[in-house]
A and B are shown apart, each in its own frame.
Chain A
Amino acid sequence: MELSQTVRNKIDEARAKYPPEENRAPLIFALHAAQDEYRWLDEPTLEAIADYLDLEPIKVYEAATFYDMFNRSPVGQHNVKVCTNLSCMLCGSDEITDHLRGKLGIDIGETTEDGRFTLTEVECLGACGGAPVIWIGKDYYEDITPQRVDEILASLD
């Protein structure tokens, strides 16, 4: 497994932010770059990152398993993440989660058979003024209602 040129460029860009001898520091950026490209991080990808940064593979596994954003198993094309923490719960995230379950026909942690959607429960996204909040790709969607959920899902390719 060799990392794509895009991923390597992004890692190089991150590397320039830290002293040259600190080759572990760009690791979180590297994991993000690889996940942007491959959607989830399998072992060959983690080993390729370790190889590229000249790190022992365990250091890459440590970061990839500690931080929640990194997918260690396959996910759908759109990972629909619902915040259910306190402010969202107070503002109706139960209803949103139930609606998504029904609409997608899957439970939290599952992926639709066509591989389009994964449903994930997440902790506070730091956007509680717009609770309830869902997060898909790079976008937050705030003040969500079941109807808005339908519109958002329909707008995704």
Chain B
Amino acid sequence: MPEYPKDYTLVTLNGTDRADSNTLQAYRDNGGYTAVEKVLKGGLTRDDVISEVKRSGLRGRGGAGFPTGLKWSFMPPADGDQPKYLACNADEAEPGTFKDRDIMRYNPHQLIEGMIIGGYAIDATVGYVYIRGEFWEPYARVQAAIEEAYEAGLLGKDILGSGIDFDLHTHRGGGAYIAGEETAMLESIEGKKAMPRFKPPFPANYGIFGRPTTVNNVETLASVPPIINNGGEWFQSLGTPESGGTKIYAISGHVERPGNYEVPMGTPFAELLELAGGVRNGNQLKAVIPGGPSVPMVPGDVMMDSNLDYESLAQAGTMLGAGSVIVMDETTCIVRAVERVAKFFFHESCGQCTPCREGSGWLYRIVQRIERGEGRMEDLDTLLDIGSRIEGRTICAFGDAEVAPVSSSIKHFRDEYEYHITHKRCMVPAGGRIAEAG
């Protein structure tokens, strides 16, 4: 875990400086599982819990930013009709995102406690943690923590003598980015190809095995116990009026100290960059993707004036996403960077919707030929035209995501594309393959 140069209030990474922080004992020593007692034995109703979470301003940390308390309130009322499900999205696969991995490795009990409370709030008696298949170590840590929690009577039937039941299981993925889309995840839990479902019906009405289901991200659920312990207002006040609480920013790429930094919502990007040691080798900042390649990239100077919260980043023409900050310095060839993420989206499209399946390949091949010095000037308008015919025409948000890096880079770095086309090489000295070959 990173060392912080000044005091920050940690919510989801709290206590992770201890070497055995993944164990039940360490979590209990740090005040763990007191929120679950407060809820199940302190007489808090389901509505009390949902109201507290609404007051906290907590918004989904997986990328969409949907208010968590509101999402929970969509579940049908507790009527004894079971099972209902709570699924935790731990399919962390957006390039540049590695925050949930650390919560699962270093603070798995806080996730479990959040799930017990969430399960109670939405009247779900069964939970699944959907962990991407590549994550062996986080899987083992979560599995071990679940077993500890069962032994301590914190999971299963009649938790702590409260009469409330909640069973929790891990589910492993098989390697598919799209499984992180919430309805694709439902399909994947059912053992099917991870292809997103049409909505409506929404998961709250028709989820896993056709039963009412809520899907929440790891960081979202791990935020819940401190909210219950300290109150929604406390969490809200850590952030901005519209974006409550803290957020883990996973910062990678051209910085001196990449890693996870949990800071308040609304923290200036410049402060995060400083925590991460600044741009590597004292280089100039060129561009930043603040929420993984699914969100538009922005020039470095725009980012340096922006804060990290939903509203500020929208003003800067981009999005917070999952808080996956990818930093690119002056040596980066933007065309090559976009070529790589276009390849990613082409590879990961599930193939269900024609605009996305075909369009992702077209985008990739055209950017690739520009990168190789074989592009034509009209390719740039063709790329934008294809993008506009994908956006909004697919079942899920993947279609919009695959367009974001292409359209935003042409908007901000069109000169770099044009240089590739006219000079048949990269304008950045050590930027890409063409320069290396030349």
Q: Which residues on A are within 8 Å of B, measured CB to CB?
A: 17, 19, 22, 24-29, 31-32, 59, 62-63, 66-70, 84-87, 89-91, 122-131, 135, 138-140
B136 in the interface (beta carbon within 8 A): yes
For B173, list chain A residues within 8 Å (CB): 28, 67
For B174, list chain A residues within 8 Å (CB): 28, 31-32, 63, 66-70
Q: Are A129 and B98 in contact (CB under 8 A)?
A: yes
Q: How far is the CA of A32 from the CA of B98 in the complex (A)?
A: 23
Q: Which residue of B lies closest to A84 (CB)?
A: B340
Q: How far is the CA of A127 from the CA of B94 in the complex (A)?
A: 11
Q: How far is the CA of A122 from the CA of B293 in the complex (A)?
A: 16
Q: How far is the CA of A124 from the CA of B76 in the complex (A)?
A: 37
Q: Are B133 and A69 in contact (CB under 8 A)?
A: yes
A-B contact count (CB 8 A): 146
Q: How far is the CA of A126 from the CA of B252 in the complex (A)?
A: 11
Q: Are B209 and A90 in contact (CB under 8 A)?
A: no
**Given that A63-B191, A63-B192, A85-B95 are known contacts, is A68 also in contact with B175, CB under 8 Å in the complex?**
yes
Q: Are A17 and B133 in contact (CB under 8 A)?
A: no
- Taking residues whose C-beta sits less than 8 angstroms from the other chain, chain B's interface range is 35 or more
Q: How far is the CA of A79 from the CA of B342 in the complex (A)?
A: 25
For A19, list chain B residues within 8 Å (CB): 83, 209
Q: Are A22 and B344 in contact (CB under 8 A)?
A: no
Q: Are A67 and B190 in contact (CB under 8 A)?
A: no
Q: How far is the CA of A135 from the CA of B253 in the complex (A)?
A: 19
Q: Are B340 and A85 in contact (CB under 8 A)?
A: yes
Q: Are A128 and B209 in contact (CB under 8 A)?
A: no
Q: Which residue of A lies closest to B348 (CB)?
A: A123
Q: Which residue of A lies closest to B341 (CB)?
A: A86
B196 in the interface (beta carbon within 8 A): no
Q: How far is the CA of A129 from the CA of B348 in the complex (A)?
A: 22
B357 in the interface (beta carbon within 8 A): no
- Residue-wise, chain B 234-252 has the 8 Å CB interface mask toward A (1 for contact) of 0000000000000000111
**Cβ 8 A contact of A22, one of B190, B193, B324:** B190
Q: Are A139 and B136 in contact (CB under 8 A)?
A: yes
For B137, list chain A residues within 8 Å (CB): 138-140
A-B contacts, 15 listed (Cβ < 8 Å): A17-B171, A19-B83, A29-B172, A59-B192, A67-B133, A70-B174, A85-B95, A86-B341, A89-B340, A91-B252, A125-B134, A129-B250, A129-B251, A129-B259, A129-B260
